[in-house]
Amino acid sequence: MTNEKKERNKEFMELLRENGLKVTSQRLRVLEEITHKDAAISQPDLEKIVGKDIDRVTLYRILSSFEEKGIVHKIFDLNGTATYAMCTSNCTENHHHDQHIHFICSVCNSVFCLDEVSLPKITLPSHFALHSLAINAVGLCANCQKED
Ligand SMILES: [Zn+2]
Ligand SMILES: [Zn+2]
Ligand SMILES: [Zn+2]
């Protein structure tokens, strides 16, 4: 294991403990894969990578518990498939505060968190209570622009 990987693993262990989740090799593996790419990753794609070691039901449970604990957040891509990305802000159990816009590539369907682009303030009619706001920007990612 490289030093960098050891360091990351330590962070992941801490993250799991902080959230009251037992440290298991499977949970560490899923965190490793979610943080591996810039883009968010879908459950089917995760399955392709970790499927030999983690069965579908376990993977589903791991993702749901991560989402519940505020470790990852879910974004739906253009096909309506749920993709997962790490939470960067102060998300806590059952309270996500990922106040950023997501970018979805219309060619490769990759989903990116634009952490630096915050959501605009919106005012709803007074009889609606806002719980969450999601804005997706759709266009071409850097890779797909190159191939043009
Ligand atoms: Zn979150
Ligand atoms: Zn693309
Ligand atoms: Zn995000």
Distance 116 CA to ligand 2 centre (A): 20
Distance 89 CA to ligand 1 centre (A): 7
Nearest ligand, CA 100: 3
- 118 φψ region: left (φ > 0), alpha (ψ -120 to 50), beta (else): beta
pLDDT digits (tens, 9 = 90+) for 65-105: 999 999 999 999 999 999 999 997 689 998 888 889 999 99
φ, ψ for residue 78, nearest 5 deg: -70, -20
98 among annotated binding-site residues: yes
108 among annotated binding-site residues: yes
Distance CA 61, CA 49 (A): 17
- Assigned token pair, 74: 């879910």
Which pLDDT value is given to residue 99? Answer: 85
Residues 70, 41, 56, 89, Cα dihedral to 10°? -10
Judge whether residue 5 has pLDDT over 90.
Answer: no
Distance CA 110, CA 100 (A): 16
pLDDT digits (tens, 9 = 90+) for 47-64: 999 999 999 999 999 999
144 among annotated binding-site residues: yes
Closest CA to 33 of 79, 84, 75, 76: 84
Judge whether residue 135 has pLDDT over 80.
Answer: yes
Distance 138 CA to ligand 2 centre (A): 10
Which pLDDT value is given to residue 52? Answer: 94
Distance CA 81, CA 104 (A): 12
| Domains annotated on the chain, with CATH | 3-146 (1.10.10.10)
Which pLDDT value is given to residue 77? Answer: 95
Percent of the chain with pLDDT strictly greater than 90 = 76
